Structure 1
Amino acid sequence: MIRLVLADDEAMIRAGVRSILTTDPEIEVIAEAADGREAVDVVLSHRPDIALLDIRMPRLDGLAAAAELRAAVPEVAIVMLTTFDEDEYVARALAIGAAGFLLKAADPRELIMGVRAVAGGAAYLSPRIAQKVIAQLGGGRMAREEAARKEIAALTPRELDVLALVGRGRSNHDIARELFVSEGTVKSHVSAILLRLGLSNRVQAAILAYEAGLVRS
Structure 2
Amino acid sequence: MDTHHPHGIRVAIADPCPMSRAGLTSWFLQEPDIQVVAEADTADSLQAIIQAYSPDIVFLTFGLDSFPCMELLEFILRNSSAPKVLLVAPRGMNLSLKARSFGAHGFIFNNESRELFVAAVRNLAERNVEYWMSDNTRKIVNKASVELNSARLTAMEKKVFAFICYNNHTIAEKLFLSEGTVRNHISSIYLRLNVKNRNEAIQLARRFGILHEMTRSEPTIEEFFEWT
* TM bracket, shorter-chain basis: 0.5 to 0.7
Matching of residue 127 in structure 1 with residue 135 in structure 2: yes
Letter of the aligned partner of 1:124 in structure 2? W
Q: How has the CA–CA distance of structure 1 residues 64 and 134 changed in structure 2, closer, same or farther, with 3 Å as cutoff?
A: same
CA 1:111–1:41 in structure 2 vs 1: closer, same or farther (change >3 Å)? Answer: same
Task: String of CA shifts for 1:48-69, please: whole Å, max 9, x gaps.
Answer: 1011111112143543322111
Show the counterpart of 2:113.
Answer: 107
The two structures have a TM-score, normalised by structure 2, of 0.55
Rg: which structure is higher? 2
- Could you say which residue in structure 1 is the equivalent of 2:11? 4
Mark the CA change 1:126 to 1:61 in structure 2 (over 3 Å): closer, same or farther.
farther
Contact 2:76 2:82 in 1 (8 A): no
Q: Work out which structure has the larger RCO, using CA pairs closer than 8 Å and 6 or more positions apart in sequence.
A: 2
Cα deviation for residue 137 of structure 1 reads 8.0
Query: Does the 8 A contact of 1:36 with 1:61 survive in 2?
Result: no
Aligned-residue offset at 1:85: 4.5
Higher helix proportion:
1
Identity fraction in percent? 21
Structure 1's consecutive aligned runs of 4 or more residues displaced over 3 angstroms after TM superposition are 132-139
**8 Å Cα contact 1:100-1:125 kept in structure 2:** yes
List alignment gaps of at least 5 residues for structure 2.
1-7, 150-228
1:25 corresponds to 2:36: no
RMSD: 2.3
Query: What secondary structure, in the 3-state scheme, does the structure 2 residue paired with 1:71 have?
Result: coil
Question: Would the aligned equivalents of 1:7 and 1:32 in 2 still touch at CA under 8 Å?
Answer: yes
- The residue number in structure 1 matching 2:123 is 117
Q: d(CA) in 2 for partners of 1:10 and 1:20?
A: 16
Report how far residue 29 of structure 1 moved: 0.6
Equivalent residue of 1:52, what SS? strand
Which consecutive unaligned segments of at least 5 residues does structure 1 have?
140-217
How far 1:84 sits from its partner (Å)?
A: 3.3
Asked whether 1:50 is paired with 2:51, we answer: no
Residue 78 of structure 2: SS of its match in structure 1?
helix
TM-score w.r.t. structure 1 length? 0.57
Listed as ranges, the matches of 1:28-39 within 5 Å are 28-39=35-46
Taking the TM superposition and a 5 Å limit, the aligned residue runs for 1:1-217 are 1-73=8-80, 75-87=82-94, 89-120=95-126, 121-122=128-129, 123-135=131-143, 136=145
